[in-house]
Each structure stands twice: as C-alpha cells, then as structure tokens.
Amino acid sequence: MSRRRTLRTPQDLLDAGLISDARAVDEVARAYAVALTPAVADLIDPADPHDPIARQYVPSAEELVTTAEERADPIGDAAYSPVKGLVHRYPDRVLLTPLLVCPVYCRFCFRRARVGDAEATMTEAEMDSALAYVAERPQIREVILTGGDPLMLGETRLGALLARIRAIPHVDLIRIHSRVPVSDPKRITAALARLLGDGEKPVWLAVHVNHARELSPAACAGLGLLARAGVPLLSQTVLLKGVNDTVETLEELFRALVRNRVRPYYLHHPDLAPGTGHFRPTIAKGQALMRTLRGRLSGIAQPTYVLDIPGGAGKVPVGPGYWDGEGATVTDPQGGEHPYLPG
C-alpha cells in the first residue's frame, strides 16, 4: 500500500506498521530527527525484521547507546569552518551547507546532531559571506553543496546559487551531494535536470545510495533524466552492518548503479557519530569485502573504500593492499601470491 505522507513521529511509524511500540523510540525521536518519505516507506517490508531499508531509516533504541569514541562532530567540520555554512578542510575545495534539512533522516548520519533544523538555513547575508570567502581565494577550484540536502532548495533558489558560484572565475566545478534521487525521486524533474546540466561549468551529482532496492523504478527514471541532461553522476555508499555488509549485496548495488550510468565513487566506513555503533563493521571486514569484489566487478564498478579520520584530518583510502615491496610479491583477487620483480 502506498503511503503518501512523510512519516515524522513514532506514532506515524506505528500507524504505518513499521514499529511495534511507539514508546520504544520516543526518546530517540526527541534526540534525532525522523523522516521517511512515501518513496522510502513503500520500499520497506514491515514483515521482515531485518529489512535493510528499514534499518537505514526507522529509529531504534540502539541509537541511545553512545560509546566513548563517538562524537557529535566526528569529522571535525567545526574546526575548519571559517564562516558560517562553509567548511574549508582541503586547499582546493570547500563544503557549503545552504540548509540542514533532508527529505529523510538516515539513522547513521554523521551530522545527525545537527540535521533537521529548518532554522539553520543560511541567510542571504551568511551566503554572501561564504561566497565572498571563496571568491577571495583563487586556490579554491571546487564548491561542494551538501547539508542537509541541497536539492531541497527548490529550482529557483538552487539555480540562483549555482549561478553565483559559476560566476567565480577560479571555480572549475560544483559538486552536489544528495539523497533525493532515491529518497524523494519525484523532485527529479526534467526542469531540474536541465538546470544542473546547463552552464559552462559542470555540476557533478553524488548520489547517496546504500542498497540496490533503493534504486526503485522512479529513482532510476530520475537518474536517467539527469544522465540524459549531461549531469555526471557518482555514488556514495556507507558500509553498514546489517544493510550491505556482504559481497553479494554490494555487488548487486554497484552493478545496478553502473547500469543507471552512476559511477561508484566512495564506499565510506561509518563515521563515529553518536549512537551509531550498531552500524559499524570492522575495517578488516570492509577490506575483505573490497578484496573479493576486485575479482568480481569491472573497474568502473569499484568504489574507493575510505575512512574520514576523526577530528578533521581528512579522508584516506583504507582498502586492501596487493603489493608487498619487501617480499617482492603481488596478491591476486583470489588471494594467491605471485613473485614480481620490477625493473
């Protein structure tokens, strides 16, 4: 049955048959934002207690368990924010967070302590300050719109923002990180696709998708609109225990993405956000998965497995190694070792 209203409260989830006791998640809902769009809710099988879509979006009491290493700002945004709404961690690119609302709220979100606040949308003066910061620094070549979800801005506001960024001479490209194509695909219209595809400076869209079932017919149709409009498409996936931490699940996802003209870009190890320990596999598990996928998938379907170092030191690849310089051997995707003596 189609659910036409975004689910935002424990009672909504109970009425939809997605939880059995609203009181069990009341405290979670008070601490962290809750929202499931009809598009997401329709993907969930309420009869499956291990449904991988539900695990990503439906709150659980496990989120109330915070471990010692977890932190509200796990990747150190605040330490690298010279003006409100902007993060400048790497020399050549900045993050810009025009708003902090999303169509859905993922239970593992690394900004979960901040997202959901409609009052945090950047004012015109704050945006002026952020863009002036970019304009004054010619080393900045890329502006990444994130949040929240930038595609929640609406076409008029988004178009005006893209035009302002494109007008900065030294900015070569814009990247948008979004969950909208899978969580609220009706927002991907032909007009939006043209808006993103037009202009001399490209807009790259990185779609957050963690499971092949999220690529519904509506989602695939939206991705097709974007691809045909000339928007380069990447994907970002978070490796999540109980959602996609098997070779078969990741292989199905990455194959589905390339069929839809989306290049798998990053497989993220989960960040140390509060209350997310039940989602984190070990890095060794992730490396083993990537090693197996190397022998099963084309190179264009292989993302880079990365860890965002806590505190703001940046992302680094943490995938398996194949070359042993000391032993002068190389390991094949099946685990066999071979001698290799470079000239």
Give the sheet arrangement for strand 173-178, strand by strand: 86-90, 93-96, 142-145, 173-178, 203-208, 233-238, 263-268, 304-309, 314-317
**Encoded tokens for 128:** 């002026």
Spatial distance between the Cα atoms of 130 and 96, rounded to a whole number of angstroms? 8
Spatial distance between the Cα atoms of 320 and 292, rounded to a whole number of angstroms? 10
Per-residue DSSP letters for 50-108? T-HHHHHHS--GGGG---TT--SSTT-TGGG-SSTTEEEEETTEEEE-S----SS--TT
Q: Parallel, antiparallel, or unpaired for β 337-339 and 203-208? A: unpaired
**Encoded tokens for 242:** 């109980």
- Annotated catalytic sites, by residue? 89-90, 93, 102, 106, 109, 111, 271, 308, 315
Specify the residue for token string 């497989």.
267
3-state helix, strand and coil shares in percent for the chain, rounded to the nearest 5: 35, 15, 50
**Encoded tokens for 254:** 């990455």
CA nearest 198: which of 176, 172, 173, 231? Answer: 231
- The vertex-75 CA angle with 72 and 81, nearest 5°, equals 95
